[in-house]
Structure 1
């Protein structure tokens, strides 16, 4: 029964990811019409992003929110290490370890893709002219895709996979908070000119796909 349920969950979500891949590829191309539409309110007539150094976006969205998520993972790591000594926590060792390591690895995957990406950040792609500005989509200022900051928020999606069988309420809490923080942190970076909307959408896709693959491999460990 467990294998059957696991297969159905994997197939259903694989199909969902497939559909979302096609939507992102065809409807949300990087630097396409939708990206241009949503980036436009945050750029001025000279091609600069007035909110690039905005205190709230830099300190709260970019630093404090990230530090809060990191602090959460530090607590998870400490609890996981403690589980090797505590009998009370021993039963949760796999869940704690999975939550920490898969979350960290998911952000590392995004970071690796970003390091080898030719896509530039929006604030590096505008060139001022006498008539205003133009977009330069060359790859000379790359390494900006997917969205690294958004991955910190989306990494919490790992909790959905960890708890979906043992505690569905906690699982959906992680799903909700992961999506909210991922989009919020990504949107803040978009307002600063650091990323396009498509960068952040692809970040969410990559992290969910990575989680689904590992969950398929370690499903039995999380449900026994």
Structure 2
């Protein structure tokens, strides 16, 4: 069975990779989050799911949405991270896995570091969850501040941890790139975006997060994954397989 080796990305591509993958695309997600917040679309989107007669979000207490959308969906990124870790540990014993060892470690690192960073940021940001805001029957003001001086004053809602778990699968885009599989690369991008949007939508519908919170999570996860995979993509060289001659010898 043939095993793909890392894609042959030239070192000269480092500047472009930093500019496009690390900076520009991360900034694009962040810009989208800023627009949603500054334009008032965060509130307009959330209004769609709030019932003023109930003074609550219609699906906030839905047991099925909570179980399937909030709890069980997390098994997907957790499972992929575990499989990547197991594959990386087993790689020295199995020849078929050896070329993928670095890629698997990078997938695991991305899936862990992105959500971890998001969880840390939630402890120091001022934004409250929609269901905590006066507009939606809560107690807190809709503040425009970014950070708090004390963790006791934190809103503990920005960025969106649930969306961060989904967007952490954007690491699969970089894994396909580093592994030399163009199809896997774009499939990984689709999976990461779909998972992040779905995970974020669940919490937006429940009143737990504004849409911009999810885009901030996408920006962080993309930034983390692009940096984690940088050494594999920008310094990788393809090892050409030996050419088999008609006599069966190799050269």
TM-score (ref. length: structure 1) = 0.86
Aligned to 1:150: 163
* Aligned mates of 1:128, 1:108 — CA distance in 2: 29
Match of 1:59 among 30, 54, 67: 67
Aligned to 1:177: 191
Change beyond 3 A, Cα 1:128–1:93: closer
1:219 matched to 2:233? The reply is yes
Query: Contact 1:29 / 1:198 at 8 angstroms: preserved in 2?
Result: yes
Change beyond 3 A, Cα 1:221–1:97: farther
Change beyond 3 A, Cα 1:167–1:218: closer
Match of 1:33 among 35, 40, 65: 40
Change beyond 3 A, Cα 1:201–1:127: closer
Change beyond 3 A, Cα 1:223–1:97: farther
Moved over 6 A (4+): none
Partner SS state of residue 190, structure 1: helix
Aligned to 1:4: 12
Q: RMSD of aligned C-alpha atoms?
A: 2.5
Shift of 1:20: 4.4
1:47 matched to 2:51? The reply is no
Aligned to 1:210: 224
Aligned residues: 219
Shift of 1:124: 1.2
Aligned to 1:87: 95
Shift of 1:127: 6.4
Partner SS state of residue 194, structure 1: coil
Change beyond 3 A, Cα 1:127–1:8: closer
* Aligned mates of 2:74, 2:217 — CA distance in 1: 16
* Aligned mates of 1:66, 1:98 — CA distance in 2: 20
1:116 matched to 2:145? The reply is no
What stretches of structure 2 of length at least 5 have no aligned partner? 1-8, 239-251
Q: Deviations over 1:84-111 (max 9, x none)?
A: 3222211211011111112211111111
What stretches of structure 1 of length at least 5 have no aligned partner? none
Shift of 1:214: 2.8
Aligned to 2:246: none
Shift of 1:58: 0.5
Shift of 1:22: 3.8
Query: Contact 1:107 / 1:148 at 8 angstroms: preserved in 2?
Result: yes
Q: Is 212-221 or 168-177 further displaced after alignment?
A: 212-221
Partner SS state of residue 92, structure 2: coil
In our comparison, the structure showing a higher alpha carbon Rg is: 2
Shift of 1:141: 6.3
* Aligned mates of 2:61, 2:173 — CA distance in 1: 34
* More RCO (CA 8 Å, sep 6+): 2
Shift of 1:29: 2.1
Aligned to 1:21: 30
Which structure: greater helix fraction? 1
Aligned to 2:134: 126
TM-score (ref. length: structure 2) = 0.78
